[in-house]
């Protein structure tokens, strides 16, 4: 059965019951096949798929509409709230009363007393804030009215209670803190923070050494300088020493030593450190016919309200201070002489 027929090729697998398919389709030619293998286009996609698409589209439209409404309501609410806030602020500004400035707390007052063998020295230290620190010197001959107590401020400097009472009676102000020293306490303080620069009106001698003009003194010479004072220049010497103390460098470590008798060493040390470059002023007082100095409460009240109007007897303007001290001592000497004559005539 094998072999080739003329004009054809036999594979040897031909069967009379099997028909060969159509020849290979050329590219681009329409598909040839039975009609039942190709569904009609009008039935695609199926109705259930179309219904599902429509439902999705409708849900998307609804979500977008809900979002637009929510954003619109949010914007409207924000505008309403902003309008209410603006109206409330404008109304409150019109109706609110102007705020009064808060009253500043009164500055702390420290009374500083030095009780030596020959004399006593008193000063009140404060820092008002707007004018800087002030050291108010109270002469030891200042008269004070203490029931059952000493007659002068200097005599009250022996005890802390009397010192505070005398300072409060003189200033008509409450004194917050006190420090009471003796000559050893003051000398030790000056040795720690010094030497201090003191302006001398007259030369003086200590341990064979003469000091004059502007001198840098330690504790020993300062004590000798204060003890050599008289009724006429004792206060001015105390003012010169205070100016030197408050002109020294404010080193907390040097002020850390003993200060004498005090109610609070920490509070006193804080006030004294804050009094760096303080203006040293003398309280306004007038000599009386019976002796001593009398302070006018009205003058003191005015002076405390505006201490800048007081006379700076020591400080940066040393030349002016020396001339003022000379005039003040001369006037005080004349008044004391007149008072003694008046007392002797009686």
User: Which pLDDT tens digit goes with each residue over 127-182?
Assistant: 876 778 999 999 999 999 999 889 999 999 999 999 999 999 999 889 999 999 99
Overall domain count for the chain: 1
Range of the domain at 308: 110-345
Which is higher by pLDDT, 43 or 68? Answer: 68
User: Does the residue 40 lie in any domain?
Assistant: no
pTM above 0.85, yes or no: no
The DSSP symbol for 317 reads -
Alpha helices in the chain (DSSP H): 47-95, 160-171, 183-193, 219-227, 234-247, 265-274, 297-305, 318-345
The answer as to whether 68 is a domain residue is no
CATH number at residue 237: 3.40.630.190
Question: What's the pLDDT at 317?
Answer: 31
pLDDT, tens only, 179-211: 999 999 999 999 999 899 999 998 989 999 999
- Let me know if residue 38 belongs to a domain: no
Cα 189–Cα 251–Cα 268 angle in degrees, nearest 5:
60
Whether residue 297 is contained in a domain is answered as yes
Cβ-contact 193, 251 below 8 angstroms: yes
User: How far does Cα 332 stand from its chain's mean position?
Assistant: 43
Which residue's entry shows tokens 């309403």? 80
Contact 281/314 with Cβ under 8 angstroms?
Answer: no
- Express each pLDDT in 69-123 by its tens digit: 888 888 888 888 888 888 888 777 666 555 555 555 567 899 999 999 889 999 9
Q: Please tell me the predicted confidence (pLDDT) of residue 47.
A: 74
Residue 89 resides in a domain: no
Q: Let me know if residue 273 belongs to a domain.
A: yes
The per-residue pLDDT for range 252-295, each reduced to its tens digit, is 999 998 999 999 999 999 999 999 999 999 988 888 888 888 98
Q: Specify the pLDDT at position 94.
A: 62
Q: Is the bond into 133 cis (omega within 30 degrees of 0)?
A: no
CA–CA distance, 121 with 140 (Å, rounded to integer): 6
pLDDT of residue 313: 42
């Amino acid at each position: 059965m094998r072999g080739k027929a003329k004009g054809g090729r036999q594979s040897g697998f031909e069967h009379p019951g099997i028909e060969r398919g159509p020849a290979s389709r050329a590219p681009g030619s329409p598909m040839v096949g039975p009609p039942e293998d190709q569904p009609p286009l009008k039935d695609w996609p199926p109705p259930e798929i179309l219904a599902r698409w429509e439902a999705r589209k409708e849900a998307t439209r609804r979500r977008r509409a809900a979002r637009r409404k929510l954003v619109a309501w949010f914007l409207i609410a924000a505008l309403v709230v902003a309008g209410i806030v603006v109206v409330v602020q404008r109304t409150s500004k019109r109706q609110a009363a102007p705020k009064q400035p808060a009253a500043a707390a009164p500055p702390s007052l420290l009374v500083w007393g030095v009780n030596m063998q020959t004399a006593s020295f008193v000063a009140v230290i404060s820092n008002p804030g707007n004018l800087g620190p002030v050291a108010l010197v109270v002469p030891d001959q200042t008269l004070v009215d203490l029931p059952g107590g000493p007659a002068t401020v200097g005599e009250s400097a022996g005890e802390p209670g009397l010192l505070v009472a005398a300072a409060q009676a003189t200033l008509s102000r409450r004194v917050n803190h006190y420090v009471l020293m003796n000559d050893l306490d003051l000398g030790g303080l000056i040795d720690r923070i010094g030497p201090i620069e003191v302006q001398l009106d007259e030369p003086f001698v200590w341990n064979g050494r003469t000091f004059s003009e502007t001198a840098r003194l330690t504790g020993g010479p300062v004590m000798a300088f204060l003890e050599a004072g008289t009724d006429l220049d004792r206060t001015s010497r105390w003012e010169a020493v205070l100016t030197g103390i408050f002109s020294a460098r404010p080193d907390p470590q040097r002020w850390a030593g003993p200060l004498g008798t005090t109610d609070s060493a920490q509070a006193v040390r804080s006030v004294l450190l804050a009094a760096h470059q303080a203006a040293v002023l003398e309280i306004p007082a007038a000599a009386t016919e019976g002796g001593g100095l009398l302070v006018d409460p009205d003058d003191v009240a005015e002076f405390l309200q505006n201490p800048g109007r007081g006379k700076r007897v020591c400080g940066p303007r040393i030349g002016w201070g020396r001339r003022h001290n000379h005039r003040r001592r001369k006037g005080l000497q004349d008044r004391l002489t007149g008072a003694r004559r008046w007392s002797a005539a009686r």
